[in-house]
Structure 1
Amino acid sequence: MVKRILATAAAAATALGLMAVPAEAASPVQIYRVYFDSPGKDTRSNTSLNGEWVQLYNRTTKTRQLKGVKLRDKTGYTYTFGWFQLKGRKSVYVHTGRGPNNATHRYWGRKAYVWNNTGDTAYLLYPNGKLADYCSWTSKGSSKYC
């Protein structure tokens, strides 16, 4: 009987916002910003394609290995990281077009746009396929802070 009363009281307190409910652990690397509408006309030039990017941020102080991590859109277009380490409190930008990969910029190598200007969702997936983070937007503006 006492357990039942305590459970009822806890449920009521939670419903009233008086008791904290534990949240799922946030991913150490998260989608910080998506620039889905590159500046100027959509000409499919490499410069225009690289104006479309996703910024990932390592919110911890520990370096994270991203090998096998995937960045995907609603359609299923997928960028998969090869061996890559993201240092603590640093960002990496994943550009749609071609370019030289380095510690802060990675290039998908596509010749067509990935992120829809009218609305889309960017998914960040762990190598095992589990969702690490996501960011959705509508047609407002040209970028979205997540």
Structure 2
Amino acid sequence: MKIRPTLAAASALSVSALTAVTLLGAAPAYATEYSSALKIRGVQYDAPGPDDNRCSGGNTAQEYVTIKNYSASATINLKGYVVKDATGNTFTFTASHSLQPGDYVRLRGGHGTDSDAKNVVYRDNCNFLWNNSGDTIYLYKPSGSHADTHAYTKSANDRDGNGYIGFHS
């Protein structure tokens, strides 16, 4: 699935605004908005240091995606939600993890102890999930419908080069 800005959004921009975006080379991370309180907050797509996916001593746990509950009042249980990348690598939340309004969880690579108190869930897989050059992150509801989707490229979206890109404020 190729994600594009809508024609309505593009036509709402003035020619001078489009020119400014073109001249600055500031391509936004592509996003598709869905009616879901649960959204992808950001991704640490490039773990600090040289990539090392060994289960013991590697740094896959430093790669993560942050998922946040943007609801003002609803608690959301992550059980059944699915996170996927552009090539079809998939993680399904199989245990109950409740996110209170404004709360978040970091889905990390590698092995560790899941903790609601520490806002972390581990994929129990030592392979890196997010591509360093760019990728697409999909978040699906337990029903199978989309909750959120973001595409990024390192060159266009990681201005400070720290390997982290934020999506929703």
Q: Which residue does the alignment assign to 1:12?
A: none
**Corresponding position: 1:129 with 2:148:** no
Within the candidate set 81, 89, 95, 1:69 is matched to 81
**Paired residue secondary structure (2:59):** helix
The counterpart of 1:40, out of the listed 34, 41, 49, is 49
Distance in 1, Cα, partners of 2:50 & 2:12: 51
Structure 1 match to 2:63: 52
1:102 maps to 2:101: no
1:79 aligned to 2:94?
no
Amino acid of the structure 2 residue aligned with 1:109: D
Which residue type is aligned with residue 63 of structure 1?
Answer: T
Q: Which has the larger radius of gyration?
A: 1
Letter in 1 for 2:111: R
Cα distance in 1 for residues equivalent to 2:52 and 2:154: 19
Q: CA RMSD in A?
A: 1.9
Aligned pairs, number: 126
Give the alignment's TM-score, normalised by structure 1: 0.79
Structure 1 letter corresponding to 2:67: L
Letter in 1 for 2:153: T
Matched residue, 2:38:
29
Alpha-carbon distance in structure 2 between the residues aligned to 1:71 and 1:131: 10
The answer as to whether partners of 2:37 and 2:69 remain within 8 angstroms in 1 is yes
Residues 46-68 of structure 1 deviation map (CA, whole Å, 9 limit, x = unaligned): 45101100000101132111211
1:112-127 aligned within 5 A: 112-127=127-142
Q: 1-side partners of 2:51 and 2:97: how far apart? A: 30
Q: Deviations over 1:97-142 (max 9, x none)?
A: 1100011100001121110001001100011221110111102331
Displacement, 1:16?
Answer: 7.7
Q: Percent identity?
A: 32
Query: Which secondary structure state, in structure 2, belongs to the residue aligned with residue 101 of structure 1?
Result: coil
User: Where has structure 1 moved over 6 Å in runs of 4 or more?
Assistant: none
- Output the CA distance in 2 between the equivalents of 1:26 and 1:91: 18
Q: What is the TM-score of this pair, normalised by structure 2?
A: 0.69
Q: Amino acid of the residue matched to residue 50 of structure 1?
A: A
Which structure would you say has the larger RCO, counting Cα contacts within 8 Å and 6 or more residues apart?
Answer: 2
